[in-house]
Structure 1
Amino acid sequence: MTFASLPDRRADLDPHGPAISDATGSLTNAQLLSRVRAAARHLQHRGIGPGDVVALKLANRSEFVVLLFATWRLGATITPVNPALTDVEVARQLADSAARLLVVEDGPTPADDVVTLRVADLYDAPVAADPAPPADTSAPALLIYTSGTTGVPKGVMLDHTNIDAMAEMGAQALQLGEADRCLLILPLFHVNGIVVSVLTPLLAGASVVIAGRFDPRTFFDLVESERPTFFSAVPTIYSILAALPNEVRPDTSSLRFGICGAAPASAELLGRFEDRYGFPLLEGYGLSEGTCASTLNPVSGPRRAGTVGIAFPGQEIRIVDPNGTDMGVGMDGEVVVRGPNVMRGYLGRPDETARVIVDGWLHTGDVGHLDAEGYLTLVGRSKDMIIRGGENIYPKEIEDVLAGHPSVLEAAVIGVPDHIWGEVVVAYVQPAPDSTVDPAALHALCTQKLSRYKRPTSIVVVEAIAKNAVGKIDKNTLRAAHAPAPS
């Protein structure tokens, strides 16, 4: 099966069962299928067919999901566009992906040669049964553009084999069933929002509640009214929720777990959150190039704080040195991944594809180690490693120490040039709500917990730490903003 035919299967099995909902209303399985058929007819009328690319520049809403299935029904490909991008950035993605149609909330297209469709104009009237959806699992399904912190964004090519495999793995690892209900709060322009929060629960027979932008003031109201059984979020969201006033005591009894990914979270944050709200957080790890997820702390079984869990069923994880030789248990090296979830490659970039996929193994650029039971601990990005006087320093260790202080919401550590040491450690910290950060207290904490060479030479307090579109800390922006250390 490909996801092009999932709406048909759900409508056959349970036509009146819940499928998706957003702030404007809900769709049963039969209604979802009807809307998908109508949207597919509209796309056909706009000239979309097999091999074409449809760009979606939309906020989180049900029509995004409808258009996913409608596009795949025609054998075409979806490229999601971050609504916050500038016209120049949107035009670059449209040109690189060769998109033929752009679906928008409103307004003109940023590229003259791409047809624009306002989402409010999308057909929704019932249409007669259409031809059977294509079953070619090698057809491209998603073209996901990386966040671009290392340069111009690249198009990650994911075919139906990739997303089918990832959703099957996810449903198995998360032990999802028809009674589950996912609350989507991450953006749908990112692979996590699409695959983990929409496709995986729908494949398992579960339903999805689509929320708008995350708002800590209303998040738990949504939990209490919609009664989800799980959701995915980034560490920043969990940090904000953990810092809410003590009188905030929501009913979280419907939640089986929360998933924490996209960036490393400290063991202290995970423990503090779970103690307060009464449901576990499952930290996981993955990349867009691996269709989102490769490891997860188990739903049933030991959860090891500070690790990102074990490999998803059907995936393999190795730790290798620069020559590709396997490292021993507990030894740091590059994390490499193999499985049917690994991307086809970067669009139009064969040389870069060949550098990151070697003999079927995806080279992640992340550094970590495995324990004897296969739990993965990340220590940083290879490109983020700081070398001070010949000593290798991974920022995550320092960030975890700083984030453990109650006055700190989030921390980011970078290396800056130094004429004596080569690089020195500089930390940026964002205060927790209603808190004031005392840099002297943080320096004292680092003195207590870190070797001398790992301690920050300076701690910069900022109102907000720079992030990219998917909530990861943007260290390139921090490096660019920071002047070299004084001589």
Structure 2
Amino acid sequence: MNATTEIIWGESVVDGYYAGHPGRVYEHSPASLAAVLDSVGRWEGRDFLVQGERRIFHPEFRDAIPTAARYLAKLGVRRGDRVVLHCYNRPEFVLATWAAWWLGAVPVYANRWWSGHEIEHALRLTTPAMVLTDAPELFGPDLLGTHCRLEPIADLAELWDQPAREHPPVRDGDLDDPALILFTSGSSGAPKAVELSVRSVITNQHSLLARSRRLPQHLDPAAPQPVALVCTPLFHIGGISNILTNLIIGGKLVLTTGRFDAGEILRLIEVERVQTWGGVPTMAVRLLEHPEFDAHDLSSLRSFPLGGAPLPATLLERMTATLPQLRKRGLANTWGMTETGGFMTVAGNADLESRPGTVGRPYPVVELRIADPDETGSGEVLVRAPTVMLGYLGIDDGPVDAEGWLHTGDLGHVDADGYLYLDGRSKDIVIRGGENIACAHVEKALLTHPAVVEAAVFGVPHEDLGEELAAAITHRAGSPVDPEELRAHVQGTLAYFEVPTLWQIDDKPLPTLAGEKLDKKSIKAAFTESVRKG
């Protein structure tokens, strides 16, 4: 890479101004998504996307972007339009993302596991011009309306073989313009649409590559190709990082072919010589406990970052004992959320060993402080960074204040050296296997059953998933219900992972606090005690 690339991807941080408030920024950073693409090589002869028998090369992918953009434009997509991507992981998901950006449109990452009710909510909120999906049967005419076009995302697969033709990208616009919409479970209600800016997408990538010394000017084209395996959904916040990282560094991105399967992961690490595979701690546990773990050659694995849930010290010990090549480097714990646009902190091997439980220190452009700390120093974690969301679509009073501080709802404290430790959550969220679940959303669905009078939903510890969902139900006198009936009742409203797996059902009222608000703390404590006693 030349000196011009180094100027585009600088490492120095300065005081700047973005989204209407001051904050830290990189002194030199790409000014658009088109500039990101222009600043990196074509990586001739290297695989980019691999899934099953399919292999898409880097040059092939680069050439297909304007072709796909032209395809979307012919179907009516224009600058500023929103394009919903609703599918499981596949190469066309990556292509559609870049094709939308090429046109100046905004990709909307929909959760493929949603119920029909949640899909309807997302379409109503985002008003897209197009839906690209692998399940068109879920989108009826009444759902789409007259201004939204439905297309099978598989149709984009035909574009890989078409000859490249010039189609200049849309290059104008502001760094604070919307670039991507993802969804997250808030503390109440249906999934919330998080709007990220162009600056957010670029800066998060800038931080990740600077931290790992993989900015374009640091890359050696003669070095072996990096290989990363992705089994978490690309529609999650980590998906965009995987897409951009491997495009920029000339990496090979290996995609699994279905739901998480530890056996498939073991096979792919061995066959594709995977160097980086990350996920939530639950996935690491399942990999380590797979009966064929010892039968596979995992010596290529060099990096195993984990996030999305707390990292137990016992799991860290097991990983370093079982995969000794990760003992000195390669393990990491991170903290962030969809609303932050990516990771805010990171802890490496030495940090995890010397400071058990930490999620690390902030990235260079991240400002972090603890609001209203108690006597132990614990309080709500607030962050400000160029990656923080523009806001929630359709919600004016969001968690980002006028000075740009995101009130995360996570509780934590910072030690004397600036390392963050998470102490819990102030918002009513359960994280099951990396999926955020809003308890109030589940409670609302349960309360629509005619026999249910009260519903309290909460998380309880689970060795594999981190947390699992429990529900305490009060039914009307003389109208008993059982878990099977309640599961069937909410099936069309909730995603499968939002349906409780543990139940306490009775006709006795649930305990309340002053003002008749359910006393979740005592309800959970009583539930836990009853489970302990069997």
The 2-side partners of 1:57 and 1:99 are apart by 12
Structure 1 residue 132 corresponds to structure 2 residue 177: no
- Asked if the contact 2:43/2:250 (under 8 Å) is kept, the reply is no
1:99-150 Cα offsets, whole Å, 9 max, x none, are 1100011433242322111122225122421113425323211111113563
Structure 1 residue 298 corresponds to structure 2 residue 348: yes
Structure 1 residue 311 corresponds to structure 2 residue 332: no
1:25 to 1:369, Cα distance in 2 relative to 1, 3 A: same
Measure how far apart 1:206 and its partner are: 2.8
3-state SS of the aligned residue for 1:30?
A: helix
Which position in structure 1 is the counterpart of 2:256? 211
- Asked if the contact 1:53/1:98 (under 8 Å) is kept, the reply is yes
- Asked if the contact 2:246/2:253 (under 8 Å) is kept, the reply is yes
2:110 is aligned, of 76, 81, 103, to: 81
Measure how far apart 1:97 and its partner are: 0.5
RMSD of Structure 2 on Structure 1 (CA) = 3.3
3-state SS of the aligned residue for 1:270?
A: helix
Name the structure, 1 or 2, with higher relative contact order (CA <8 Å, separation 6+). 2
Structure 1 residue 272 corresponds to structure 2 residue 318: yes
1:56 is aligned, of 68, 85, 96, to: 85
The 1-side partners of 2:52 and 2:106 are apart by 27
1:336 to 1:27, Cα distance in 2 relative to 1, 3 A: same
- Aligned ranges for residues 323-334 of structure 1 at < 5 Å? 331-334=377-380
Percent of counterpart pairs with the same letter?
31
Which sections of structure 1, spanning at least 5 residues, go unmatched?
386-394, 400-411, 415-425, 434-470
- Asked if the contact 2:263/2:292 (under 8 Å) is kept, the reply is no
3-state SS of the aligned residue for 2:291?
A: coil
2:209 is aligned, of 145, 165, 171, to: 171
1:234 to 1:118, Cα distance in 2 relative to 1, 3 A: same
1:201 is aligned, of 242, 246, 253, to: 246
Q: Which amino acid aligns with 1:58?
A: C
3-state SS of the aligned residue for 2:144?
A: coil
The normalised TM-score by structure 2 is 0.69
The 1-side partners of 2:76 and 2:293 are apart by 55
2:55 is aligned, of 20, 26, 49, to: 26
The 2-side partners of 1:98 and 1:317 are apart by 34
- Aligned ranges for residues 66-465 of structure 1 at < 5 Å? 66-108=95-137, 109-110=139-140, 111-113=143-145, 114-122=148-156, 123-124=158-159, 125-136=162-173, 137-148=175-186, 150-176=188-214, 177=219, 179-195=225-241, 197-212=242-257, 213-245=259-291, 248-278=294-324, 279=326, 280-298=330-348, 303=353, 304-321=355-372, 331-351=377-397, 353=398, 355-383=399-427, 428=460, 430=462
The 2-side partners of 1:481 and 1:356 are apart by 37
Report the more deviating stretch, 45-54 or 88-97: 88-97
- Asked if the contact 1:167/1:203 (under 8 Å) is kept, the reply is no
The 1-side partners of 2:80 and 2:105 are apart by 5
The 2-side partners of 1:231 and 1:295 are apart by 19
3-state SS of the aligned residue for 1:314?
A: coil
Which sections of structure 2, spanning at least 5 residues, go unmatched?
1-29, 440-457, 466-494, 511-522, 528-534
1:178-233 Cα offsets, whole Å, 9 max, x none, are 642221111011111222x2223323343322223220122111111112221220
Which position in structure 1 is the counterpart of 2:448? none
1:158 to 1:166, Cα distance in 2 relative to 1, 3 A: same
The 2-side partners of 1:327 and 1:318 are apart by 13
Which position in structure 2 is the counterpart of 1:17? 46
1:246 to 1:208, Cα distance in 2 relative to 1, 3 A: closer
The 2-side partners of 1:89 and 1:79 are apart by 14
1:67 to 1:340, Cα distance in 2 relative to 1, 3 A: same
Measure how far apart 1:15 and its partner are: 3.3
The 1-side partners of 2:196 and 2:265 are apart by 32
1:166 to 1:480, Cα distance in 2 relative to 1, 3 A: farther
Which position in structure 1 is the counterpart of 2:67? 38
- Asked if the contact 1:19/1:206 (under 8 Å) is kept, the reply is yes
1:50-101 Cα offsets, whole Å, 9 max, x none, are 1100001111011100111000000000111112212222122112101110
2:76 is aligned, of 44, 47, 53, to: 47
The 2-side partners of 1:81 and 1:299 are apart by 34
The 1-side partners of 2:505 and 2:365 are apart by 43
3-state SS of the aligned residue for 1:90?
A: helix
- Asked if the contact 2:111/2:183 (under 8 Å) is kept, the reply is no
Measure how far apart 1:161 and its partner are: 0.3
Measure how far apart 1:268 and its partner are: 1.4
The 2-side partners of 1:194 and 1:283 are apart by 18
The 1-side partners of 2:459 and 2:42 are apart by 54
- Asked if the contact 2:193/2:393 (under 8 Å) is kept, the reply is yes
The normalised TM-score by structure 1 is 0.75
1:87 to 1:175, Cα distance in 2 relative to 1, 3 A: same
Report the more deviating stretch, 106-115 or 306-315: 106-115
The 2-side partners of 1:367 and 1:243 are apart by 32
Q: Which amino acid aligns with 1:119?
A: I
The 2-side partners of 1:333 and 1:288 are apart by 21
1:431 to 1:368, Cα distance in 2 relative to 1, 3 A: closer
- Asked if the contact 2:371/2:380 (under 8 Å) is kept, the reply is yes
Q: Which amino acid aligns with 2:366?
A: Q
Q: Work out the number of aligned pairs and report it.
A: 407
1:289 to 1:247, Cα distance in 2 relative to 1, 3 A: closer
3-state SS of the aligned residue for 1:248?
A: helix
The 2-side partners of 1:481 and 1:82 are apart by 29
